[in-house]
Every structure is written in C-alpha cells, then in structure tokens.
Structure 1
Amino acid sequence: MTGRHLPVAEPPAVARAAARLVRADGRAFAAVLVLNALSAAAGLVGPWLVGRIVDDVQRGAAVGDVDRLALTILAFSVVQFLLARHARYLGHRFGERTLARVREQFVDRALALPASVVERAGSGDLTARGTTDVAMVGTTLRDAAPEVLIALVQALFILGAVFFLQPLLGCCGLLGLFGIRWALRWYLRRARAAYLAEGAANSAVTEVLAATVTGARTVEAFGLQERRVARTRDAIELSRRARTRTLDLRSVFFPVVEVSYLVPVVAVLVVGGVLRAHGVVGLGAVVSAALYLRQVSEPLDSIMMWVEQLQSSSASFARVEGLGSAVPGAAVAAASPVDDRIDVVGARYSYEGGAEVVRGVDLTVRPGERIALVGPSGAGKTTLSRLLAGIDAPHAGSVTVGGVPVAALDPEQLRRHVVLVTQEHHVFLGTVRDNLLIAAPAAQDAELLAALAAVGADWVGDLPDGLDTAVGDGGHRTDGAQAQQLALARVVLADPHTLVLDEATALLDPTTARHTERALASVLRGRTVIAVAHRLHTAHDADRVAVMEGGCLTELGTHDALVAAGGTYAALWSSWHGGDREEGAAPERRRQWKPTTEWGV
C-alpha cells in the first residue's frame, strides 16, 4: 500500500518481522511458554478435585479426606498463581526488550529514508508512526501478547481436560466455539482495513496540525486561519468516522462472544444430566466438566478482549514495519561512484499533478568546479539543485555522480558525496556538541571548534559552558543567524566533495553573511560547489554561470563571456547592480564595479 503516505507492510511481511523479533530473544520466549504451560496444568487440578469431592461425598467419605482434597486444591492454586506471576514477569521483560529493538530499528530506518520520501509523505505520517504506532506495538508486546499466550495455553489445556473426562461432554464444550469462530472470522475480515484507515486518518490529523503550527506566522500573515481551521475540522471528521467504524465492529463482536460462553455450559449440564441418568458418567464428572467450561470462559474472554488490541497493534506494526520498504536496499547501497564528476543528461522533472519545471537539462560539473545557477523566479533553479543533490530523481534523463544515479545512493553514501544546504535549518535539543556530532560522530573537540570557526560562529566561545551549553528550549535560544551557522558547521564536518547551496546564508544579516562567506571560502577550496545565486556577486566569482529560464538551461559560460553576449544573464546583471548605474555613465565606470565578497556559499 503506497501513495502520499509511507508504505504499509503486507501481513506476510509483518509475520516475518514478528518471527525475527521472537528469534532475537528465543530463550526468554521459550521460558514464557514453559511457565505458562505449567501454570495451565496446575490450574486443571482444582476442578478435577472438586469432582472427586462430589463423588467422595456421595459415597460417604470421611471429612478428613475431603479436607485433604480441599488443601490440595489450595496448594495447586498457589502454585498456579506463582507460575503465572513469574510467566507474566518474564513476558513483560521479553516485551520491553523487543519494544526497544522495534524503536531502535524504527529510528535507524527513519534516518535512512531518502529526503524525497519524507517530503512526499509529510512529517505527520512519520511522526504518527514513531509515536502512536510504536507505542501501540509496545503495549501489545508488553501486555497483550503475554496475556493472550497465557490464555491460549490455558484454554487448550482446559478443553483437553473436558475431553479426558468424557469425550461427549468435550464435544458439548466445542459448541460455544462455533459462535466465537463465526464472530471472530467476521471481525477479522473487516478489522485490518478499518484499523489501517484509522491509522491513516490519525496521520492526516497530525500532518494538518503540524503544518499549521509550523507555519503559524504565515497563516496569520495571510489571514488563513479560517481555511486552516476548516482543513483541521475535515481531518478530524475523517478520523471520527474511521474510529466509529472500528467501534461498530466491536459492538457486534463482543455481544456475540459473551452469549457463546454460556452455550457449552448449558449443553454440558443438559447432556451430562441425561448421561448420568443412564449411568454413563458420574455426578462428579458432570460437575468438573461444567466447572472446566465455566473456567474456560476466562481465558477465552481474555483472548477476545485482546483481539481488538491485537488487530489495532497489527495495523500499527504494519505501518511501523512498512518503513523498511521505503529504505533503499542493500543492492543499491553497494554501487559506488568511480569519481566526483556530476553529469546531467536530458533531465526532466515535474511535481505531482503539475507541469514540467525542469525540461531536458544537460550539464556536466567537473570536480572542483564552482557553478552558479541563476535565473528569474520560477525558472527551475531550486528544483535542479534538488536533482543534483539526490533529493528527487528525474522523471526522464539522468543525474549521476561518478556514473551512479545520485538519487540511487543510500543516504550514508549520498551525504559523503553531495550535500544540499538551504535556508531551512534546525537546532536539535541538546548541547552545541550534540548538534555538531550529528554530522561527524567521531569528531574531537578541536575539530568541532575548527568547524565553528570556519563559519564565523565565534559566539559559541562566549557561552557559559562552551560546547556543552544546552541549546533550544530550556537552554540558549539561538537566533536565525546562529542556527544557520550551526547548520553550516555541520556541513563542514560532513566533509562532502560537492555542495549544492540554495542561498545558504540568506537568513544572515549582510555583515555576518560576508564574514561567513569569507570564512567558508578557504574551507570550500578544492571542492565542487553548485550555488543557486540570487546575489549575483556569487555568479561573478563562479567558474561558470548556468542560466535557467522556464525549466531550460539557456546559457552556460563564464561571467565575462555571458555579460559580453548580451543575453539573459547580461540583463540580470545589469538589473542587479543597476544602482551603480546612472543614465549616461561611461562603460568604463561600470566595469570598475567589483563585488565586496569573495566566492563563498
């Protein structure tokens, strides 16, 4: 199941994943099974001894004999309690360890997802899977799974005991199972789809709320409050309908099950009475069978009560496990670029439901070259930069690095080869050191400080605890410029051979931006740099300038050559620094203009 949301695993894949989790802690799982079996066996003694007491009383047995049997029942009840308690203890430990594995695997897979997959799915779906769905799986592993396992073993042992007493009475006990079987089949045929729909609806609500909160200032600035409220209400209404559907299923399922519990008890009493009248069975056997079947309702009720949890958890597990199919496979990860050359051949791309925004672009970027992408707004510059960085894959043509499609590289390889730096940035909760080690976990303090110095983040030295100063909520509140510098320092530590820069210093004030650009100039020396240039001084200092218009690459050459050609770039250049032009000014004066900054980002 794919689409705008992330994939959902099919039932066979979920079953295989569950089997892997069991094998990972097989000894604990086997111990839980053994203890549950022993507990169920101890629980069979009580009803059987009650039947013995009934028969002994009929025969006129001594009070002492009855008392001994009663004490034996008490002893086995205590043994059953202790075994069941220890089984639950081990089951919960097994569940917590397994949940830890699920969480760790989810985080690993989420970090390995291509950025394009996350963007298409939206943060809401990934957030819902990492919170609600993982929590649901954890509850099942900790509570539902052990309870169902115990109840299932107990039910099988009890039904076996009834057949051992009298096969015909055992057959009566199976009558109630037919009603439960019908209700269970009816419920299971509908439950998976219903719970998957409920999970998708919850993701939609989370997505709408997250988008509204993230863009709160934009919503307020453009007066979009009513529109966002309407979208939120629509999402909540869909969620309510999905939830009502699962409630409707339960309102049919549980009443049928409750009635089915009484059928075998009534049948045993009726048939047992007839059999006793004909001398086939004794009164004690009938009493024991009735007690067993009354007792079996408890584990069956436990199973039925947890069926809803298991169905909901199965849907959640399918959503959590589905993340694995969105992660690039090992075969793709094995491909390695032979060099750092980037080739764009006939690349075409369009966003979902829209016209092409990149149309037949051909471009070769040599290792160590610095190219500026310029053009009017909407020309396709940012989209081409995303193709170059492997965020998106072209719908036609190819974008390769060292002969390997950029978008086919797994995230770890991609980060070593090409990194896209945009105006968007994020400061993670933690210390300054934590924020930097994301890019280079093994980096030493000297390397971290050097990276900060490279981007002009001198303010870190003034913090009370230096690299150990907490940032974000509850710590040092970074402004836009400081957050941008932390992001750029992470780029320095990542050490890619190619940087694709989309106005990476746009949020810095002019003075800080110039300082950062000068600092990065030395760091970027010898690297391949592709910059989406809105400030044309970046284009002036580039090795080549690529001009985009209407999704096409219309001009390509050095700054001087393109200015001399008098085309689109020359017009952009003239317009950009027109403030230095005065009507009638001599060409010599215009040629004396020189950017105040060197090539940076």
Structure 2
Amino acid sequence: MTTAPTGAAHQLPVAGVPEVRRAARELIRQDRRALAGVMALNVLAAAAGLAGPALLGRIIDRVGAGAGAAAVDRLALAVLVCALLQLLLTRQARYLGHRIGERTSARVRERFVERALDLPPTVVERAGTGDLTARGTTDVAEVGTMLRDSAPRVFIAVLEVLFILGAVLLINPLLGACGALGLSGIWFGTRWYLRRARTAYLTEGAANSAVAEVLAATAAGARTVEALGLQQRRTAAAETVIATARRARLRTLYLRSVFFPVIDASYLVPVAIVLLIGGPLHAHGVLSLGAVVATAMYLRRLADPLDVVLLQVEQLQSSGASFARVEGIGTAPRTGTGGAGTPVDDRIEVTGVRYGYDGGPDVLHGVELTVRPGERLAVVGPSGSGKSTLSRLLAGMDRPRAGSVTVGGVPIADLDPEALRRQVVLVTQEHHVFLGTLRDNLRIAAPEAGDDDLLAALDAVGWAHPLPDGLDTELGPAGHRLDGAQSQQLALARVVLADPHTLILDEATALLDPTAARATERALAAVLEGRTVIAVAHRLHTAHDADRVAVMEDGRLTELGSHHELVAAGGPYAALWRSWQQ
C-alpha cells in the first residue's frame, strides 16, 4: 500500500512495505549468483569462527587431565589456523559483498533518475522541488549505504549468531537453552523499537523535505523577498518547519536512547545464567569445566554479532524509510496512462470544462472551445482570469474536474508522454539550461538532429548571439552564461526541433524585449506554418496577428472571434485593446 508522508498532503507518495519488499527482491534477483557466492563464503567463515571457544574448552579439559605441552600446542595452533581462515574468508566475502552493494546502489540511482524524469511537471510542482531533491540526494545515499554496508554486515552477523547458538546447544542442550532464554530482553526491546521506528523515520524524512523546500524556495526568490520586505515572513516559515523537523529528530533520538541501554544490559544476562547454572552442574560432574567455559565464551561472543545486528537494525530502519521514499517515486500519479487510442486528427475540443486546484473552488467554469487544426488562437485576459490554467489543460498537464479536453477525439491527459509530445507542446516563461554544450541542450528535443538542423532551429527563433565556440560552447555556471532572453530563445529552438502539430505559448516571449519578442513570434509563425499555435499572452499584438482571439474573465470564456470582430463588438476585448494602446 502506498502512503503519503505525515503532515505533507502534497508531497510525493511513500511506497508501502509490500512495494519495498518487491523492489528489494528484484534487486536481489539481479545479483543472485554473486549473492550465493557471498553467502557460501560467510557460512564457511562463521563455521571457522566457531572453532576457537570449542578448542579452548578442550585445552582446559586436557590441562585438567594432565596432558603435556605438545597436545596444548597442537590445539593452540588449530585455534590460530581457524582464526586466520575466518579472517581471510570474511575479508573476501566483504569485498564481494561491497561490489554487489555498489552495483545495486547504481541501479537504484539510475532507476530513481528515470522515474523522476518521467514525473509530470504538475506532480513535481505541487510536491515541491525540495521533496524531490531530498529523495534524490539524502535518501538515495542512505539506500546506497544500506545496500553496500548495512545489509551485508547484518547478514554476516545473523549467521554468526545462529552458528554460536547451535554450538551452545550442542555442548549441552539444557545449559544452552537457559543461556538463549537470557536473550529474551533483546527480543522484547527490539520488538518495542521496531513497532515505532518506521513511522518515526518516515516523519523525520518528510520534515527534512519540508525544510529543504522552504530553504530552496526562499533562496530562489531572494530578490522578491528583499524587494517586498518578506524577510520576517520567510524567517517565520523556516522556523516553523525547522521546529517540526527538530521534534521529529528528537523522537528518533528518544527511541535510540531507550533501545540501546536495554540491549547493552541484556548481553550480560545469558553469561550470568550459564555461570550460575554451569557451576553446580560441574560440581556434580554433569559437565566438564571446559564445557562450561566454552559455553560462557560462546555466549559472550554473541555480543559482537548482536551489536552489529542491533546497531544496524537502527540504520536499517532509517534506510528502510529512505528506500520507501525513493520507491515512492514509482507510485506517483502519471498524467498519461497510455492505451487511450490514436487521435484521428489534430482538432482540439474543450467541452464543459471545470477545474479547481487541489480540491479548492473552481477556477474554470464551463469553458467551451474548439481549436481548429492550423489556426493561430490567442488567449487573452486580465491576470488570474484562467489563461494559464486553460493552457495546462490543453497541454495535458492537468485533468479537468468536469468536462473533457480532447485531441482527435482522445482525452489529451490520457496520452502517454511520447504520444503527447507529438501532439502538443507547452512553452512557458520557465526554462532551463542544462549543463553541457549548446549542441547538447538542443539535441534534448531531437537526439538525431544534425548541426545544420540545430543552426536552422536557432535561426528560426531569431538567435543572434554569437558564442565563443559555436555549438560546442559549454553552457552553465562553469561555462558561458545565457541571459533570460537567450535562455528563452533556446527553449523555443527546442520546440522547433520537437516539431509538434500544436504549440502552446504561455507568455513564452515575456522575458524578451518587444523587438526581439516580435521577431521571435514572426519566426515561429513562419516555421510552424500550417500548424496550430495557441498563444497565451499579455501583449495584445499577438492577438492582433491571430486568426481568432479567446477572451478569459474570471475563469469563463466570454468572447471568441477575430481581432477586428471583437474590437467592433465593443466588449471586454475592445476595452483591453484600447488600454494597451494608450
């Protein structure tokens, strides 16, 4: 079952225990032969480690029986050989286990990146980039540590515990059973801890994501915060999420502060029981002194592997919560489900659409619109009228609460990503320049495109910015930095290369100066001749050049017609046009 993090209604989902177990089994299956080899080496190492206390018990019995130095030396040499053999086998097992862990960690990282890139933008926007960043950094690293270090150590330690308990029962079943019974405190303490730890660590992870989101948002909007005097408000928001994270952290610390002292005290109990019972049994001739000493030493040796198991149990709880958060990316809702059918044409139909954000009131009210293939449609209206919301529905990024948005008779939101990109592409004011060359940034949209195609796409959007190394110019903080206008033109060039049949421009030229914006729009019009262009803009020259203009007011489509028709009608559009010309 998939769950949401505590206190974070819009964070990305967290995978349930069954999903995490399935993912772990799949990772194990991919390296099952190497894991079998590691298990065999660990079994041999654990068996070799059992010889020491048993041989020491025999030395005590031989000395008590009057054996000479030669017999003792042979047994001591056997102890040394077994210890050396255990060391070599354990070292090789850990080496191979570490390699398996690194391979598995790489698989987890690669799968996370693939799933993150496949997330619809609307899911990331609502969850916040802080949550995704925390999962892709802290949580993925935590999972890697578990797979590389914690899990192999626990496996080896559990084998040692089982072998030691088996050896104790072989020496004397009664004495061994009494000693094993003394370990019950560890069982109850561990059970108490495990019942509380997963929830506590998931809560801590969600709280850390909230801190990351607030800090990232504040840093990204630092200039706005300073300009509007929002420092105290942002500080208060940060203090709130930090206080929540502190409480979550104190909860996990409290669990550890109870768990570990109980465990430390429990190690002494089985040894004390063996000595208290073994002494009278030896006095009555039931057991030899060597058997009592060997049993006590075996139980005392349990402290080391049990320490590993119990210390790593704490690590595994934290890592398990991180694994659930990482796997939760795979259960996040997808906009396109595939299997929706193939559009019969390029006509876009908006029928009775109502939409509200996150269960809130409707921001679109019964919108009806038909976008004809090949036309240029401008969507205008005051700020907050619903223009951008409509553009997201047209691009398949959101699904209407009521009504439908279809292309060629198929719901746009049901198209899988590949099919959707061939139909509709949305370009907004937001854009991103990836690390790499200018060529790399352009080929994101068309991996097979040649240099001539790339240069033609740049020319189409009016690119007039010679770069030091042309297409080989490195972009980003360590290379050439593009300004806002250049970055936006780069984004538009990607759209030209993607070549969809419908292009939605949501204020896509807002960061360009009027001259550059006009030139870019003319270039796009030439390149996309015969294709559908839906332009959402506040610059009304876009509407003047369009075939039709759709006017949005308070989430309703109030006017629809050509520029000249709407100006002549003297309605809301005519008022906008007059105010814009003044």
Contact 2:550–2:559 (Cα < 8 Å) also in 1: yes
Residue 272 (str. 1) matches residue 272 (str. 2): no
Amino acid at match of 2:31: D
Query: Aligned runs of 1:370-385 on 2, under 5 Å?
Result: 370-385=376-391
Q: Does 1:519 align with 2:523?
A: yes
**Residue 369 of structure 1 aligns with which residue?**
375
* Equivalent position amino acid for 1:92 in 2: H
Residue 207 in structure 1 maps to residue 213 in structure 2 = yes
Give 5+ residue unaligned stretches, structure 1: 580-601
The alpha-carbon distance between structure 1 residues 46 and 333, as it changes in their structure 2 partners (threshold 3 A), is farther
What's 2:537 paired with? 533
Residue 32 in 1 paired to residue 34 in 2? no
1:497 aligns with 2:498: no
1:128 and 1:34 map into 2 onto residues whose CA distance is 37
Within-5 A mapping of 1:152-551: 152-328=158-334, 332=338, 335-352=341-358, 354-459=360-465, 462-551=466-555
CA root-mean-square deviation: 1.5
Q: CA deviation at 1:327?
A: 4.8
Distance in 1 (CA, whole Å) between partners of 2:443 and 2:433 is 12
- In structure 2, relative to structure 1, the CA distance for the partners of 1:333 and 1:83 (3 Å cut) is farther
Deviates more, 1:486-495 or 1:78-87: 486-495
Structure-2 residue corresponding to 1:146:
152
Query: Partners in 1 of 2:15 and 2:483 — Cα distance?
Result: 42
Instruction: Indicate the residue corresponding to 1:118 in structure 2.
Output: 124
Q: Cα distance, 1:574 vs. partner? A: 2.7
TM-score when scaled to structure 1? 0.93
Deviation at 1:564, TM superposition (A): 2.5
Is the contact made by 2:393 and 2:399 (CA closer than 8 Å) also made in structure 1?
Answer: yes
Alpha-carbon contact 2:337-2:415 (below 8 Å) kept: no
* 8 Å contact from structure 1 (residues 343, 365) kept in 2: yes
Q: Are 1:97 and 2:98 matched, yes or no? A: no
Q: % of aligned pairs identical?
A: 70
One-letter code aligned to 1:400 = T
Aligned residues: 576
Amino acid at match of 2:18: P
Question: Contact 1:173–1:268 at 8 Å: present in 2 too?
Answer: yes
> What is the alpha-carbon distance in structure 2 between the residues aligned to residue 331 and residue 237 of structure 1?
39
What CA deviation, in whole Å up to 9, does each residue of 1:457-489 have, x standing for no partner?
Answer: 232xx3222222111112111111111111111
Q: Measure, in 1, the Cα distance between the counterparts of 2:236 and 2:568.
A: 54
**Residue 583 of structure 1 corresponds to which residue in structure 2?**
none
Mapped to 2, the partners of 1:128 and 1:534 lie a distance apart of: 37
> What is the CA distance between 1:433 and its match in structure 2?
1.8
Aligned-partner Cα distance in 1 for 2:341–2:177 = 62
Query: How has the CA–CA distance of structure 1 residues 329 and 313 changed in structure 2, closer, same or farther, with 3 Å as cutoff?
Result: farther
Matched residue type, 1:266: A
For residues 362 and 558 of structure 1, the distance between their equivalents in structure 2, rounded to whole angstroms, comes to 17
Q: Which amino acid letter does the alignment assign opposite residue 142 of structure 1?
A: R
Alpha-carbon separation, structure 1, partners of 2:91 and 2:409? 61
Q: Are residue 558 (structure 1) and residue 565 (structure 2) matched?
A: no
What one-letter code is carried by the residue in structure 1 that aligns with 2:328? Answer: G
Residue of structure 2 in register with 1:78 after alignment: 84
Which amino acid in the other structure matches residue 486 of structure 2? Q
- Could you list the runs of 5+ residues in structure 2 that have no partner in the other structure? none
Contact preservation (8 Å) 2:120, 2:335 = no
CA distance in 1, matches of 2:24, 2:17: 10
1:187-235 CA-to-partner distances (Å, cap 9, x unmatched) read 0111011000000000000000000011011001000011111111111
**Distance change >3 Å, CA 476–CA 68, structure 1 → 2:** same
Report the Cα offset of residue 571 of structure 1.
Answer: 2.3
Secondary structure in structure 1 of the residue aligned to 2:42? helix
Indicate the larger mover: 235-244 or 560-569.
Answer: 560-569
Per the alignment, residue 65 of structure 2 pairs with 59
User: Per the alignment, do residues 336 and 168 of structure 1 end up closer, same or farther by CA in structure 2, a change over 3 Å counting?
Assistant: farther
Q: 1:329 to 1:561 in 2, by over 3 A?
A: closer
**For structure 1, which segment, 546-555 or 320-329, has the greater mean C-alpha deviation from structure 2 after superposition?**
320-329
Q: Deviations over 1:1-52 (max 9, x none)?
A: 2331000011111111100111011111111111111110110111111111
> 3-state DSSP class of the match of 2:374?
coil
Aligned-partner SS, 2:182: helix
Distance 1:553 1:334, change over 3 A: closer
2:19 match? 13
Instruction: Output the amino acid matched with 2:448.
Output: A
State the AA in 2 paired with 1:300. Answer: L
Describe the shift of the 1:258–1:330 C-alpha distance in structure 2 as closer, same or farther (beyond 3 A).
farther
The one-letter amino acid of 2:514's match is P
Measured after TM superposition, the shift of residue 407 of structure 1 is 2.1
Aligned-partner Cα distance in 1 for 2:368–2:523 = 32
Q: Give the 3 Å change call, closer, same or farther, for CA 329–510 of structure 1 in structure 2.
A: closer
Q: Which moved more, 1:545-554 or 1:121-130?
A: 545-554
In 1, the alpha carbon distance for the partners of 2:481 and 2:492 equals 18
- Shift in Å at residue 370 of structure 1? 1.5
TM superposition shift of 1:253: 0.3
Does the 8 A contact of 1:332 with 1:409 survive in 2?
Answer: yes
Could you give the per-residue CA deviations for residues 59-104 of structure 1, whole angstroms, max 9, x where no partner exists? Answer: 1112111111111111111111111111111111111101111111
Distance 1:362 1:56 in 2: 98
Say if 1:179 and 1:257, in contact at 8 Å, map to a contact too. Answer: yes
Residues 109 and 323, structure 1, Cα contact 8 Å, conserved in 2: yes
Alpha carbons 1:112, 1:412 under 8 Å: kept: no
Partner Cα separation in structure 2 for residue 86 and residue 106 of structure 1:
30
Q: In 2, distance between residues paired with 1:331 and 1:454?
A: 34
C-alpha spacing 1:180/1:136, structure 2 compared with 1 (3 Å): same
Q: 2:59 is matched by which residue type in structure 1?
A: I
8 Å contact kept, 2:335–2:414: no
- Alpha-carbon distance between aligned partners in 1 of 2:178 and 2:455, rounded to the nearest angstrom: 79
In the aligned structure 1, how far is the partner of 2:339 from the partner of 2:294?
A: 64
Alignment CA distance shift 1:335-1:309 (3 Å) = farther
* Separation in 2, partners of 1:281, 1:366: 96
The change in CA–CA distance for 1:17 and 1:329 in structure 2 (over 3 A counts) is farther
Return the alpha-carbon distance in structure 1 between the equivalents of residues 244 and 106 of structure 2: 32
What SS does structure 2 have at the residue aligned with 1:556?
strand
The normalised TM-score by structure 2 is 0.96
Structure 1 residues 272, 380: CA separation in 2 closer, same or farther (over 3 Å shift)?
same
Residue 329 of structure 1, CA deviation: 9.1
Change (3 A) 1:409 1:511: same
Which residue among 566, 573, 576 is the counterpart of 1:569? 573
2:183–2:269 CA contact under 8 A, matched in 1: no
Contact residue 113 and residue 411 of structure 1 kept, 8 A: no
Distance (whole Å) between structure 2 residues aligned to residue 177 and residue 495 of structure 1: 69
